Structure 1
């Protein structure tokens, strides 16, 4: 995008904590005009890093309202970072359908609807950048995280198609897939309960403990912020960016080169299944 950062207006969905907050603070330090969002900004009374607008990605009215506020004040919206997301774990067989739908509403339909709200503005400006925060989990079907993997994979594939559709308008779109970062995502994740006597009780319970330990020992979210800033200063962003520990990124390479069953065995060994 390579714009003068001091005039760059950025909207980050889910900017109240974790990766979104780190990106927002970093971009503001670089001179950008930053807006974050939260479903309930009044919960964050001490939050003074950048303005938090009320926005629920599941509510089209709240999306339009937040975008309108920014455009009314600044006359432009240069960068959208679709960061709001929700975790979900559980045996697919035991995960309630309403929770699956809810997860796709946040992780997939949400980013699509926020993007739809900003595209007419970016088209009028004849430039813009949309960064979709996906996940390394979207590159592989992970046991007991199948729904999460699927929602992030869907966003990755949609971005691949959408960025080609936007080229005529000088609007750029890319995916940034983080691995495990030290954020509070585990606390906000929907966990299907470990059901006593269920055939999944032991393997799911063990996997859950392993996943939580990975998040707690994850990388610093500042890494994500630096990659986002780099993308904003790139004339031709790549289709995909992966950010995280070497082995997490390398696992994507292994999936491309290893036979399916060998890769599956490697994942099962990792999760001790």
Structure 2
């Protein structure tokens, strides 16, 4: 049976590349975009309207989705954007908008799909995160915090969904040559003490992204997860990400094993 795969943010970046690849491989692909009519004629897969920062949009989208398909096999959370700015210069209302999309938008959409996955007793949730979900970088404090939040949320969700045969995976690139830079919003602070530092950070990040992984590398990791239905939670992309996760994974795997054992033996 052909798998049906839902990909958010499928009109650009990793989402678009992944959707095109899977569509050409014969999967039933449904993508989302805030402006599907603008892109539908340019792609071969179905695009539905979704603004993940808007709860009413998620509710309407979910209803439309399951009027379109009878079964969903994979959800790929790819939608999001990057907020840059020195922490002290970033107003809370700007930071909250970042969380409304990157964190709450992803969480709310996932939760809207879960009743269908539970009913099926199967499903796979793949979320495109970042190695910044484990480390911090300057001039990206709120973006980094949103990725840390996603990591924590899906770590916990994974325990809860294992009983329903629902897999939870995170994909964690470090630097990649994608259009994320074009989808970046700056907090535009103007504290003089930070001006020179910001120039140095911007130069470092620009160089790192130019030397980063090709977007195809990220897409291949996601495709492999779909093909194998892997239960591996963390899936780094690139040497830097793999090194960081190597240092992190040993301690977490011990903790995870202890939690599983404790829950099963609890009375």
TM over 0.5: yes
1:166-185 equivalences in 2 (<5 Å):
166-185=161-180
The answer to whether 1:101 aligns with 2:96 is yes
Q: Which of 235, 243, 247 is residue 240 of structure 2 equivalent to?
A: 247
Pick from 15, 22, 25: which aligns with 2:20?
25
Q: Which residue of 1 aligns with 2:143?
A: 148
Coordinate RMSD, CA, aligned = 1.9
Q: Deviation digits for residues 221-244 of structure 1, max 9, x if unmatched?
A: 222222112112335411111112
Deviations 1:166-185 (A, max 9, x none): 11111111111122111111
Is residue 70–residue 77 contact of structure 1 (8 Å, CA) maintained in 2?
Answer: no
- Preserved CA contact (<8 Å) 1:136 1:249: no
* Aligned match of 2:4: 9
CA distance in 1, matches of 2:166, 2:244: 31
Aligned to 1:157: 152
Which residue number corresponds to residue 233 of structure 1? 227
* TM-score, with structure 1 as normaliser: 0.85
2:43 matched residue in structure 1:
48
Matches within 5 A, 1:114-153: 114-153=109-148
Alpha carbons 2:173, 2:241 under 8 Å: kept: no
Distance between the aligned counterparts of 1:84 and 1:170, measured in 2? 25
Structure 1 unmatched ranges of 5 or more: 258-273
Runs of 5+ unmatched residues, structure 2: 251-267
Contact 2:132 2:147 in 1 (8 A): yes
- Where 1:27 maps in the other structure, the secondary structure is helix
Partners of 2:153 and 2:159 lie apart in 1 by 10
**Corresponding residue to 2:181 among 175, 186, 195:** 186
Relative to the length of structure 2, the TM-score reads 0.87
Question: Which one has a larger percent helix, Structure 1 or Structure 2?
Answer: 2
Asked whether the 8 Å contact 2:40–2:47 carries over to 1, the reply is: no
Structure showing greater relative contact order (alpha-carbon pairs closer than 8 Å, 6 or more residues apart) = 1
